[in-house]
Amino acid sequence: MTRKLWSLLKLPAERIYLFFRNFSMKHPFKIYITTSIICFLVLALVQFILVYNTYDLLNRRFYYEKKSKINEEYSKAITNDKLFPGGQAIIDSTLVPQLRTLEQLYYTDTTKFQVHSQHLLNQIFHRLIRSQTIDSLMRQIREKENITDSLRYALNIARIDIMTGNKKYINIYDSRKKYELIDDSLQWSDGIRIYGDLKNPDERSQVARLNVSNAMPYTYAMAFSFHAEPFNRRQMVFRQMRLMLTMSLLSMFAIILLFFITMRNWIKQKRLSDVKTDFINNITHEFHTPLSAIMVANKNIQNEKILDNKMAIKSLSDVIERQSHRLKLLFGQVLDLATVDKLFVQKKPHHLNMLVNEILTDFSIKFSTSNVQIDYTPAEEDLVVNLDSFHFTTLMLNILDNAVKYNLQPVKDLVIVISNDKENIYITVSDTGIGMSRETLKHIFEKFYRYQKDLTQNTKGLGLGLHYVKQCIDAHKWKLKVDSEVGKGTTFVIVIPV
């Protein structure tokens, strides 16, 4: 039974493993990005929680250092008084004459007691608010103690009890209750607000909390509190956290920077790896031109008619020699195309008309059975140019190869013209291929770029041909002009300063 259960569980586990393995092999970049983003978000969340908890802790422990001075001066100002200087007189004048009446109603008619007491309290609270002197008192305290901070205040009444004739306390106001006959605008969650604009007074902002009472019959007891804190309390808390916030932000920035650097290097390495893999897969195609030329030349040499023609044998032998030498150089250099950013050329004088003619001869052998028609017009005069023959040959072959590769015409026409003026020599290569859009022309010299994936997906290549062409042009300090129109072909003009 256990083995059977294990076999049932093992099957879906293997399927899940195979699914993730295949997915990771097909989409490594997506997995890398997704995993990195998830890890970054988790780390950012942990950082946020730590910073928030630190802020909350400091906020709870926040203490305004000048609060003790305010407490000392406030306590002196209300000695033998309540709330503010003159506050007790206002309360006594209204409440004390009604204490016996309130006592009688309390024992005889609870409803009338509630109505009468609330009316009295509403009257007292309004008189206190109109007559409060805490505003002027705080100005005096701040001037005396040289307090320049912008402060918010709250003076609240939390509880009022009256003492009966038998020394029993009866509550007539409690901040925890809601009273219908007392104005709603006066009733806050922490009591009756007599003065101030501090919205949420708490223990951290509390300057003084007093419970004033008298054991004599027909008196009253009152609990009230005074709060004060700076307007920029949050800024002061963050100021205490500035080192932690700076370190946290710097660490997050460093992680993001490292992530992008790592991702960029990873993409670069992956691209180079893919190029090398593609190169190995397409190496037959890349070496096809010299190999085909050698094979065709060798086959022609074996022809009995050719054997009797010494000039033909010499011409074919020269082709084999040139292409063999080219193969030797290719083995040493073409593998470096994916990584080399700058070519080094060894210039020697060459007769341009003759060199181009040799290149076209070797190129035409490759397409001897294809519908490729080459129209070559050499310069009227013998032009000698300092150039690296290997790189120049590769440059021309890449342009010619693209002219045939990206050509859907039944007969692929190539026109090569060499001309010159007093300042420059021009080598013009025109084709009747598919052409390129303006957007494509912006990218054709980029490494690994291939035009029209839907058309070229079955056309072998590494996307390095024109990149190499541009390298050769730059290495020789020449110029290259490209003119193309979709559906009408492309023209490359190599400009060689005289």
Please say whether the beta carbons of 482 and 490 come within 8 A. Answer: yes
- Pick the residue with more confidence: 446 or 9? 446
What's the confidence (pLDDT) of residue 339? 47
**Of the candidates 262, 152, 145, the residue with the CA atom closest to the CA atom of residue 200:** 152
Residue 25: which pLDDT band, with cuts at 50, 70 and 90?
low
**173 torsion bin: left (phi>0), alpha (psi -120 to 50), beta (else):** beta
Whole-angstrom CA distances from 411 to 40, 71, 97, 137, 338 are 57, 101, 120, 103, 33
Q: Whole-angstrom Cα distance, residue 378 to residue 42?
A: 68
pTM score, two decimals?
A: 0.45
Please say whether the beta carbons of 184 and 239 come within 8 A. Answer: no
What's the confidence (pLDDT) of residue 384? 92
**Of the candidates 332, 287, 330, the residue with the CA atom closest to the CA atom of residue 460:** 287
Separate counts of helices (H) and strands (E) for the chain: 18, 13
Please say whether the beta carbons of 392 and 472 come within 8 A. Answer: yes
Residue 44: which pLDDT band, with cuts at 50, 70 and 90?
confident
Two tokens, residue 287: 């070496």
Residue 13: which pLDDT band, with cuts at 50, 70 and 90?
low
Whole-angstrom CA distances from 25 to 30, 31, 50, 204 are 10, 9, 37, 58
Please say whether the beta carbons of 223 and 208 come within 8 A. Answer: no
Q: What percent of the chain has pLDDT above 70? A: 80
- Farthest CA pair distance, the chain: 149
**Of the candidates 267, 361, 278, 275, the residue with the CA atom closest to the CA atom of residue 321:** 361
Q: What percent of the chain has pLDDT above 90? A: 28
Q: Give the three-class secondary structure for 285.
A: helix
What's the confidence (pLDDT) of residue 456? 46
Tens of pLDDT, residues 294-314: 877 777 777 767 667 777 777
